[in-house]
Amino acid sequence: MSSVAVPSDVVLSLVGRAVARARFPELGFADPWAEAMLATLDVDPAGFDDRALRASTVRAMVVDGLVRHYFERNPDGLAIALSAGLCTRFSRVDNGRLRWVDLDPPHVAEFKCAHRLWQTSDRHAIARCCSIACTGWMDALQGAGDVPTLLIAEGALERQPPELVDAFFTRISARLAKGTELIVDHEAHPPLRTPPRLRACLEVPAADGAVARYPRLRPIGEGEVTPALEQALQRVSRASRLLRGARASSVLHLRFE
């Protein structure tokens, strides 16, 4: 099998999930698929900082909870994992009915298509895409009819220039159906944000003080997720302001109106 280059934070996330059962048993998290994947790679888990691994795993657990809650509400829905990379979430949240697409750059998609660990279900597909802001996959979703759809952008905005992030939010706002949901994590600085006011929408501040606003993307309303999930989201956001040296991220759960 040919090798594939992946960013260091993607490897860190995989390692965190793979070692969580042994290093962080108090989290109650286990990912046998990640453990099996790590065993096939030339990666030494001992070289990773425990704090960074734990933070990455806690964030993955929060996103897992939001995804499971979505498919409790929409058991036959569709998930699109943007720039999924070495994510193993399908194996953790599959309810036996949902459909899942990993959308990856061509070289990553080819690696995954050749790896037996991703050949587990005909409801799990791997698709190629040159960029998260490419309109091809967005236009394809317009043909999905009224299928409930969830976008998951965990890590997809990392290392992306501001103009691509703006293109992504602008283009999905113009194309995706009302009711589509988006789970996105992001670096705390500069932040994505949804100000605490009536009818607040997604805002992305720029370094020069300008603010881009995306009126169709609004936070999931209070009471629409369980109290436990709401508390978990708040803990991740607080941790993003306190962590130093580890990747500090917050998580937003949004809906297109």
Domain 56-256 fold is: Rossmann fold (3.40.50)
Q: How far apart are CA 64 and CA 66, in angstroms?
A: 6
Give residue limits of the domains in the chain. Answer: 56-256
Question: In sequence order, which residues have a C-beta less than 8 Å from that of residue 136 and are 6 or more positions away?
Answer: 129
8 Å CB contact between 189 and 156: no
Closest of 13, 86, 88, 31 to residue 247, by C-alpha: 13
pLDDT of residue 179: 94
Tell me the backbone φ, ψ of residue 52, rounded to 5 degrees. Answer: -65, -40
Instruction: Tell me which residue has tokens 């992306």.
Output: 160
Closest of 66, 83, 60 to residue 181, by C-alpha: 66
- Cβ burial of 189 (10 Å; 0-12, 13-18, 19+) is exposed
In which element (H, E) is residue 61 found?
A: helix 50-73
| Tokens matching residue 102 | 């990993």
* pLDDT tens across the length of the chain (257 residues): 445 555 677 788 999 999 999 999 999 999 999 999 899 888 899 889 998 899 889 889 999 999 999 999 999 999 999 999 889 999 999 999 999 999 999 888 888 888 777 777 899 999 999 899 999 999 998 877 789 999 999 989 887 888 999 999 999 999 999 999 999 988 755 578 887 776 689 999 888 889 999 999 999 876 676 677 676 666 655 554 444 444 556 888 999 99
Q: Indicate whether this model's pTM tops 0.85.
A: yes
